[in-house]
A and B are shown apart, each in its own frame.
Chain A
Amino acid sequence: MSQGAPGLTHLLRRGSSVYNHSFRFVLHMQKGESQQKLARDIMARVASSMEQLREENQRDRL
């Protein structure tokens, strides 16, 4: 028992470290995806505005 405890502690610490890294990685991925989605939303709004201006420009030319 006295020999097994350090091994168990080590195992728990290692498991905890792996969990923390995984958790941070998942958070990082979620953040990345969220920023990408935001970028798409922003550009969609810019594109919509640009398309309106393009149509207006074409109407003026005719």
Chain B
Amino acid sequence: MSTLDDPTLLTAMSPLGFFFTESRHGRVRWTMCANDMCHKNKLLSDFFLSGKTLPIVRGAGQQQPVLTLVAEQLRDHGDWLHVFPEGRVRQDGQMNPLKSGLANVLCDVADTKPIVLPFHHSGMERVIRAHTARPMINNRVRIVVGEPIYLDDLLLRCRKVRLD
């Protein structure tokens, strides 16, 4: 993993014109980035916001307005949200425990039957090493895209909880 996994991997996996025609189709992903990294000042903030990257506050819990905003975008517009649910970059090939904020967003939009498409990648830790900003060339990056995760039964329970 590295700090540039999004948007580099998604750009590499998508047709070239997809990101450049965002103003027409509006289907480029939403994502979130820690406010102390991507929204440190007005210039950075404007840059990341125009790339549909919203500020999230580390450690501020799951009741943050940004999560409500994201849920609204998914529910009302059928948009695409890209998240790394581990929440932190790790470069030893292991995964951190997943945070449950994603599950709450999914529960909030359970009516729309959201699709969760997982993918795992390795090799980006050699492209952008920890604490450096200089990309290294001639490295192989491997991405495995899985099948959509079956969540219908759990989302049905979400709907019931919300109705109660």
Which residue on B lies nearest to A45, using beta carbons?
Answer: B149
Does B76 sit at the interface, judged by CB under 8 A?
no
Compute how far the CA of A36 lies from the CA of B93 in the bound complex, rounded to whole angstroms.
29
Does B121 sit at the interface, judged by CB under 8 A?
yes
Would you give the shortest CB distance from B32 to chain A, in whole angstroms? 17
Interface size counted on chain A using CB atoms at 8 A: 25
Q: Which of B6-14, B33-41, B44-52, B103-111 sits within the interface?
A: B103-111
Q: Which residues of A, 25-57, contact B by the 8 Å Cβ criterion? A: 27, 31, 34-36, 38-43, 45-47, 49-54, 56-57
- CB pair B120–A53 under 8 Å, yes or no, is yes
Compute how far the CA of A60 lies from the CA of B104 in the bound complex, rounded to whole angstroms.
33
15 contacts between A and B (CB under 8 A): A31-B164, A34-B161, A35-B158, A42-B102, A43-B99, A43-B100, A45-B149, A46-B98, A46-B116, A46-B118, A53-B119, A56-B120, A56-B144, A57-B120, A58-B93
